[in-house]
Amino acid sequence: MKTDNSKPNEVPENRDGEKATGNGPRVPILNQDSQQPPTPKAAQIDASPRLQSDTLLAEDGSRSEGVTKRPSRRALSVGAVVAVVIIAGLLLGFLPRWRQSRLTTADTSQLAIPSVSIVSPTTGTNHDGLILPAEVKPWLEASIYARANGYLKNWVADIGAHVTSGQQLALIETPDLDQQLEQAKAQLALAQANLHLAEVTDNRWRELLKTASVSEQAAAEKAAARETAAASVEADRANMRRLQELVSFQRVVAPFAGTITIRAVDVGDLIIAGSGGKQLFHLVQADKLRVYVRVPQTAALGIAPGRAATLTIPELSDPVPAKVLTTSESISDLSRTLLVQLEVDNSQHRILPYSYGDVRFDGDSGNPALTLPSNTLLFRAEGLQVAVVNPNGVVELRKVQVGRDFGQVVEISGGVTPADRVITNPSDSLVSGIKVRVQAEPKALAEK
C-alpha cells in the first residue's frame, strides 16, 4: 500500500516517469512491479552521470576548494616545441647576419691597407767597365768682340776658315776714333811747345838769379812751370798712345791658330766695343780636344790623372784613346759627381768639337753602385725619393741620388742598402708612416 510520504532518500519523479538527479541528466525509473536487482553494468551506467555532474559543477565554478587544474603533458610538449622553433628561427636569422657583419668588417680593414709589390736593390756589375756620357770641347776657343766703335768695312774670314795667329779677320771703320787721335796729336804738340817755352824761361831766370837780378821765389816758380809743362807733355803723349792702340783695333785679328766656327756680322753693321756689343767671330782650336765627364761619387776614388780611357763617338767605328788630364778634386753638391777632364788627340780632325760621346774607363775600381727599376722613383719637391717598407710593414720615404740611367734600370749612389724592400710603382699619395701589405716577395734584378 502506497503512502504520500516519500522516503528521505528517494528522488521525486517527474511526469515522464524519470527520476531527477540534481542538475545532471534525467534517469528513467522502472516500475516497482518490475524492479530487479541492478546488474554491474547498470551500476556503471548509473555512476557515469554522477561523474559528469561533478565535472560540470567544477566548470561552473561551484567545485570545492580542494579541486585544482594541472596542465597536461601534451600542452607542455607543444609549448616546448614552439619555444624551440622560435629560438631556432632567431638563431637562423641572427647568426648569418652576425657572420656577414664580421666578414664585412674584416674585409673593410683589409681593404684599408693597400697592397704593394716590392723589390730589393741589387749590385750593378758592368763587364764593359764604367761608361759615362761625355762632352767633347775644343782645346782652345774664343768669342771675338770689337774693341773699337765704328762700322764693319769688310770681313776676310768666313766660317770654316783655318787661320793663323795674328791673321786679319775683318776691318772696322772708326771715324770718331780717328778724329780723337788727331786731336790727341795736336794736344801733344801744344804741350811740347809749352814745355819748350817753360824750359827757355827757366834757363833765363836761373842766369838772372846768379847776378841777383831776380828773386829766388821768382826763379823757383819758373822751374815749377817747366816741370808742369813736362808732365803735361807726358800725359798728352799717353793719351795719344791709347788712341793709337784703339785705332789699331780697326783690324780684327785671330788670337791663336784655329778654325772660324761663327761669323755673326756683315759689311756695314754697327760695331759697338766691348762684350755688350755683338759677337763678331768664334774661333776654336781642335787639334787636341778636351773631354769632360762626370763620374759618380761611388767611382770617383778610382779616377786619377794619367788613367787611360777610350772615347766612343757614334759616327766613328773605332774608339779613340783618351787620357785623364785633371779632375776638379771635389764632389758637386748638386749631382754628387766628380768633374773629370780628359785629353784626346785630334790631329786628323776626325772628331768635331762639341760632339757627344761616351767615355769608358777600363777596370772600374770604385765601389759598385746599387741598381733599382726606374718605376720605383718618386719625383717630389724634396727631390728623388723611394718608398721603403720596414719589417713592420710601415712605409718610409728616403731621398736617393741617381747615377747612370740605363732606361728601365738606374744606378742608386746613395740612400738605400741591398737589404731594403723598395715599393714598385708607388702611388703619388704615398707618405711616410702608413701601413701596407706586401703582395710579393723581393725579386732580384738581372745584373747589367
Range ranked top by mean pLDDT from 7-21, 38-52, 170-184: 170-184
CA dist., res. 16 & res. 18, Å (int): 5
**CA 418/CA 370 separation, integer angstroms:** 7
Categorise residue 415: left if φ over 0, alpha if ψ from -120 to 50, beta otherwise. Answer: left
Distance CA 283, CA 353 (A): 11
Q: What is the pLDDT of residues 297-346, one digit of tens each?
A: 878 888 889 999 999 998 888 899 999 999 999 998 888 899 999 999 99
Percent of the chain past pLDDT 70, that is, above it, reads: 77
Please state the rounded mean pLDDT for residues 109-127: 72
Is the pLDDT confidence value at 124 over 90? no
SS3 assignment, position 130: strand
216-248 and 175-210 helices, crossing angle to 10°: 160
| CATH hierarchy code of domain 130-135+281-361 | 2.40.30.170
Domain limits of the chain? Answer: 80-112, 116-125+368-438, 130-135+281-361, 147-263
Report angle CA 232, 233, 236 to the nearest 5 degrees.
Answer: 85
Mean pLDDT of the chain: 79
Say whether pLDDT at 127 is over 60.
no
Spatial distance between the Cα atoms of 343 and 290, rounded to a whole number of angstroms: 5
Is pLDDT at 6 greater than 80 in this prediction?
no
Report the C-alpha gap between 212 and 439 in whole angstroms: 119
User: What does the DSSP assignment read for 55-90?
Assistant: HHHHHTT-S-TT------HHHHHHHHHHHHHHHHHH
Question: Is it the case that residue 18 has pLDDT exceeding 80?
Answer: no
Res. 70 pLDDT band, cuts 50 70 90: low
pLDDT the model gives residue 112: 62
* Topology classification of domain 147-263: Helix Hairpins (1.10.287)
In this predicted structure, what is the pLDDT of residue 39?
47
* Higher-scoring residue by pLDDT: 442, 328: 328
Query: Over the stretch 150-163, which tens digit does the pLDDT of each residue have?
Result: 999 999 999 999 99
- CATH classification of 116-125+368-438, choosing from 2.40.420.20, 2.130.10.10, 3.40.50.2020, 1.10.357.10? 2.40.420.20
For range 223-238, the mean pLDDT: 92
Quote the pLDDT of residue 110. Answer: 55
Most confident of 29-38, 79-88, 372-381: 372-381
